A and B are shown apart, each in its own frame.
Chain A
């Protein structure tokens, strides 16, 4: 009786609205029944609908759920792509880009990489700007950076540009290495000192073969990452190597003022863990300094004046790449507030910059940084 009442109610509901759940109760059979032939669960259809109709409704619901899931899934999604339409933003340009993406160039994001360069660390000197602020700068000399080769997805499985820099005496370079450069080296020219690869995200960003990368490849005001082999410090104790605290100079400390102290626990674990910080060789390893700002570029002599210190010794090569974390594209801190660097590289004819300095400074603040704060408060 109860079942009948329920089915009548369901039928009414089914006729009145389109959203109805089809019920069919299931009854669990006793344990002693044969498990192979008979099913574990027996379905009893206590709705007024036939089995076919129930199946049809169930399929429709399933299709709806699948469609909902698919709608959330964006095909060919790339990092930076939007999954839902833009609703709010601090910049008007983003709405323009949403409405007409074809008119604007594809964005230059943090994940996009272009070619870097090799430079010699020349030394440090101060640079005064027009406001009178003294910037302690390292001078990097981009010595004849020539693109030797390309690495592509078809041949190598990754995209990169091979860049050669510097000069070496022909007698110091082996024949096997000379053979690599025969394509673009004449008999008078010296082979390069160093060859390094720089990873790139897209094949259209590969600079053309045998082209030179000048200092203007970089923009004054941008941030760069500089990687070099740090100065060698030799065998050093843990205080210098790992910033250990050491022990007091007096008060009974015996023979261990600069020692590392305990190396572990007792019987458990009963060993010293691998990687325990101890004394050892320090320095002469690859180190990257991130977010180093370019203060000034000397276009004639291919010099980069870069704020702060850079790993390595004077006269040694360092790798210079756009900053991975904070390159400052699109901000006021970069010259002309450009939103992307020159791609794939800056092209201009050979300029013999000997003796002349064409210096381009980074954009300076609008107000005097030495002005006292009372004026702003007033």
Chain B
């Protein structure tokens, strides 16, 4: 072995080293094995990097040990693979065997061992690049493509299955920097499509074993794709011409129909139009002119207007007490009533007339909706009204329709959706005086009736919204007027007041009094305040109070009053009678209420000029007994009965 001799030499060198010149010599630096590679899994080569030689001539040696063997061997071939390499030929190469390799650097001063490296040849395979790369242009239905083919490196034995290679190729156009990669698997041919006509392509291919390293790229193959531009171009030209032609036609058509198209796509927006609003005035800047122009003479409608038409009043007569009385009296009460009795013990709040069992169910259906509507619409109006002085007499009260505007009788009306503006209290025609509508109650809408808004109306709180409502309502309405018992004369307010007492809440049905249609069986308040005209026509009397009569009793003067008290029945119900001043007396819904038989009492008050339908006769006190009649039940939903007066 060389090793012992080398060792001796080293020792000698070391011995003599001190005698050497003063130059700094040192043992060699540590070499390092950089890599080992096998091109075909049959041979392999290892390369190392020498360390600093320490100033002296250094020699390198490579030693290896095989797995499970203690024998150390030296590299058989230092030259085949170049400098600082060791080549292991087929005989020395074993696959699936671990090699432990070390490199030693030796100079006169010493030797240095490198770090050992373990390798298994099967994992260090890096084949040579594929060979015989050929690229040809072929045609597929008129479109060209590249066919690339190659051969495996000649050293790699893929034929026997000893080594299995997979290939990859890359393509790029001449002048560009980006390569297009294609993995070809184990096949040895490949097609490339989507070529640019007239371009020159560079093609390269490389390979790799299943578990190993990629080879280097093969030498580039160049190929020029012939021009097929003309074929493309002609097609494009045709398309362009065609498109241009179509475009021209479309433009012409558009031009022809531009106007109508404009209308179609961008319809003119109607501008706002306010009657009486003159833009020119606005431009002038004189506000007075503008506003005066806005004031429409006919607005708000006066008595003579068609307000009444707007109003559809219906009285909802609640005669809760009566109902009870009735009950007591006899069992002829409608079961609805009965039920209502029990159920309506509360204030009937939030319940519409339809809820009232005494009311006609069917009527309620529609009435309800209308009622609600009216309620809603009423609201605003009512609020308005509230503002107005209650005292104003002559509240024409929108619902003049039903009641003659001057009807002061507090006719209870349920307002239909449309409202005439609350009668301006101020401007109400004198005849109305007390035509305040005291309360329009609508039974149904009551539920919607905002508490506050009903100031002007006495809505029977009962069934209108909440209990709270009722009382407040009443009060409110009456607040303005001195509360007083129902005195027929003059104070309508009084009447109102009376009503307030009633406290609609419970009155409910009882309200039926004149003008008020007590909803039968509606125990709740349902007080209706009718308009009270000067003559105190309207008298609503709370059911309970029964005093209605007092005030209510007063006959309603006609004049226009809406309802005339026909009388008070035994039940303390005011029977209101509407006098039709010659006007249509619309059929009185009374009949409903009138079950009592006061049919005639139903006379609709003619509301004089009212064109509107007679207010619901509902006023008829019938409420009392009427409860019975489910239909009548004293509650007449004017809405149902009358059509809303159109304004």
Q: Do A and B bind each other?
A: no
